[in-house]
Amino acid sequence: MSAATLLFVYALTPLHPGAGRAVAGGPVDLPVQRDEFGFPVIWSSSLKGVLRSNFSLKARNAPSEEERVAQETFVRAAFGPEPASPEVSEYSSAVSVLDARLLMMPARSLKGVWCYLTSPHLLNYYRVYLEIASNYVSQLENNLKEFYKLLESIEAAFKSKKADADRVALVSDEQCVIKSDQRSVVVLNEEEFTAEVKSELAGIWKLLPEGTEQRSIAVVTDNAAETLLRKSLVVQPRVRLDYERKTVSQGGLWDEEYLPQRTLMVSLIVARQPRQSLGKIAERVAKNLKESENEAKELADRALKLLSDLDATGILRKLSELKSAVLGGKETVGKGVAKLLWYP
């Protein structure tokens, strides 16, 4: 038996899912991760590591030994054995975490301060995940049909504009539209586009979980999106001082790239039955707390009573208890806080 859920990452503060130091001559010293097409992404290994570390921390802070063993058993069953442990070759993770792909990013708007920016390519990331998830969750089939209609409407609208499509923005309402006698325009990240209102774009919000700030949506072509999205990324200069001399330390001046606050990304998690006996995992965990094998066995038995119904659906239900997390680096300077929205 398998189960699946969509996971949306909503940035409460700027996020820095780092890709390491850029090669010499790069525009930013510490860029964010990018996918094969150059769009920002949070790779699945990073996202899975964040989920595991949060539940591992919860296990270490458990108020009793029984709860600690139960929580640690869940972590190992769901995410696999600890690296380099004797269990590594015995079983693997019960969850498959897919990359968190960019769905929408805030863009500066000359009217209305900001709106959400997306493109057919980014919307198709969500379509692919919806297609996969609908194989496990029947209630998502209607969402997928509605999303297909929306994508077809967007593609038809851009196709009708022919050569002018790259200078057109389809908007969900008039909140960001500037009207004149000649035409209606929207200015996104200091670039002007002819605005065409398509109220059906607001239907996207019905296909997403509650918890994000619903703003005007602007859809541009994929050709226009790459440049506009790059302008939405936040580049922050950082400096490290030599406090004795009050000057910049050697190598102490660099730039960091961030996904802006309110960025919305989507991932998919598929869970299966645990690949190892929970009793066996619990006994191994308990042995780290009790010297006597009998005491360890008794502790493991008590802990297992707290892990009822830990099948594929139960694993996802427990994962969905995590409502927020710190993703990427720069946590100590107030970056990386994200809301986790599980759907359905």
Q: What is the mean pLDDT of the chain?
A: 92
Exposed/middle/buried for residue 242 (C-beta within 10 Å: 0-12, 13-18, 19+): exposed
Question: Tell me, what's the pLDDT at 20?
Answer: 78
Mean pLDDT of 280-298: 88
* β-pairing verdict for 178-179 and 247-258: unpaired
Is 258 in a helix, a strand, or coil? strand
The pTM of the full predicted model, rounded to 2 decimals, is 0.92
pLDDT exceeds 60 at position 320 = yes
Q: Is 254 helix (H, G, I), strand (E, B) or coil?
A: strand
Collapsed DSSP state (helix, strand, coil) of residue 210: strand
CA distances from residue 160 to 119, 164, 168, 201 in whole angstroms, order as listed: 16, 9, 11, 17
Residue 288 is predicted with a pLDDT of: 85
**Closest residue by Cα to residue 157 from 146, 165, 149:** 165
Per-residue pLDDT, 8: 98
pLDDT value of residue 293: 86
Checking if the pLDDT of 24 tops 60, the result is no
* Highest mean pLDDT, choosing among 11-20, 40-49, 204-213, 243-252: 40-49
pLDDT of residue 21: 76
Residue 290 or 337, more confident: 337
Rounded mean pLDDT of 77-92? 84
Encode 181-202: b = buried (16+ Cβ within 10 Å), e = exposed. Answer: eeeebbbbbebebebbebeebe
